[in-house]
Structure 1
Amino acid sequence: MSAVATRGRTLVFDVNETLLDIEVLNPFFERVFGDARVMRQWFAELILYSEALTLSGEYTRFGTLAVAVLQMVATFRQIELKDGDLEEFKSTMSKLPPHREVPEALEKLANAGFRMMTLTNSAGEAGKASLVQARLYDFFEHTFSVDEVAKFKPAREVYVHVARALNAQPSDLRLIASHTWDTLGALAAGYSAALVARPGNAPLAVGAQPDIVEPDLLQTATRIIEVDR
């Protein structure tokens, strides 16, 4: 991680699911809802309503929205959430571990000389804390949050804000994310993009396409070094 950045392109990483493993929430959903697959429903609804808030001109912090969506899913599934359930959920969310290959992939990119940032829907301090507890924080030069523009990804303003803060052209930035909705937003803002197609994620056959699609971050890192040399 001591290499001096020499590449022209700066890498901007999504955090939740791209770097950190949200599947550790599955036991909670299995216990509370009787079906671990409800985690994916909750996450999809969380993204849906984050986008709905942005489109309607509203904003609340991502952690607050995550709990509200959990309560909504519980309501229409006729599940009564107890205080202990909410505390367990929030505690697990604050301690998401990195995917197994992530530290090696980040080390490889750092040694190749790339500048690396994060851009997360999570609030600023929460996003930083999640990287610290996962022992990933030191890989990154800066951690950006959508809190800074009060709009959730994939609003174009979020990606433009990062480029301006870095005094960079969007074309000099590459977003790395596990979610096609995120790569669509970055590409629309002029970035290039790499999709980490983890289980439950895949490219969309319409719209602008990432030029790199790989199943994990280590393979994605290898391709980035090949393409962005």
Structure 2
Amino acid sequence: MAVRKSAPIIVFDVNETLLDISTLEPLFERVFGDRASLREWFANLILYSQTMTLCGRYTPFGELAVSTLRMVASLHQVALDASDIDELQARMSTMPAHPDVLPALKCLRNAGLRLVTLSNSASGASPSPLERAGLATFFERSFSVEAVKKFKPAPETYQMVSQALNVELADLLLVACHYWDTAGAQAAGCLGALLTRPYNAPLLIDEMPAPDLMASELGALTEQIIQRWGGPA
């Protein structure tokens, strides 16, 4: 692989990449009797966020998360209480960082790399989920797709970041544990680094781009980033 003259700006996805959504499992185990139903809900949440974008519609991610929970409950013929909705919203706003995140962010910052986030979640009042998780200070900016009212992987979401930072799309490296996100970023002109956390893997098909970097743990992915670019030129 060719070595770039300067390091890219690292753009982190937030939900599941940095913050651990498995902390929502107790809610799903209590409501559905199976904590694995979290994955059914989350997959549908992503599916219908992308469906809304394709249909030219938008509603904040948190509201869509609640509606998707109601949909999954209906499919399973489970009655939801208002307290269940409250618990979902509370848990989504207080998800902790994965254990590998803080050491990796420290390494990237010490290497002099610029770090930002790009999330499907709408911005809200302080403290934000990143602030609650103790991560906010690592990032110079946090972007939300609400600014363009389209969900990732719409190209406008990545273009928004490049325009706001006054850099080319090729100067961005998106780090995410979702292949649909890294592939979308690459299709838009960015670099893509895939973090293969549990329940996440690349789609091995010739017509889709292979991630530029890939690892199963953020520390290992960070090592690849630093070895390849070593910080700003």
TM-score, length of structure 1 as denominator length: 0.95
CA distance in 2 between counterparts of 1:30 and 1:127 reads 30
Match in the other structure for 1:104: 103
Q: Check conservation: 1:171, 1:192, Cα contact below 8 A.
A: yes
5 Å-filtered alignment, 1:1-229, equals 7-125=6-124, 129-206=128-205, 207-229=208-230
Does structure 2 conserve the Cα–Cα contact (< 8 Å) formed by 1:62 and 1:122? yes
Number of aligned residues? 224
- Residue 221 of structure 1 aligns to a residue whose secondary structure is helix
List gaps (5 residues or longer) in structure 2. Answer: none
Kept in 2, the 8 Å contact 1:7–1:114? The answer is: no
How far residue 127 of structure 1 moved from its aligned partner, in angstroms, is: 9.3
Summarize deviations over 1:133-164 as a string: whole Å, max 9, x none: 00000000000000010000000111011101
In structure 1, C-alpha distance between the alignment counterparts of 2:149 and 2:167, rounded to whole Å: 21
SS in structure 2 at match of 1:23: helix
Match of 1:125, SS state, is coil
* Aligned amino acid, residue 111 of structure 2: A
Q: CA deviation at 1:7?
A: 4.9
State the secondary structure of the residue aligned to 1:98: coil
Matched residues in 1 for 2:34 and 2:126: separation? 28
- The residue identity in structure 1 corresponding to 2:26 is P
The TM-score, its normalising length taken from structure 2, stands at 0.94
Of 38-47 and 121-130, more deviation after overlay is shown by: 121-130
Show CA shifts across 1:87-120 (max 9, x none): 1111111100000010000000000010000000
In the TM superposition, residue 219 of structure 1 has moved relative to its aligned partner by 1.0
Residue ranges of structure 1 left out of the alignment (5+ in a row): 1-5
In structure 2, relative to structure 1, the CA distance for the partners of 1:126 and 1:23 (3 Å cut) is farther
Deviation at 1:228, TM superposition (A): 2.2
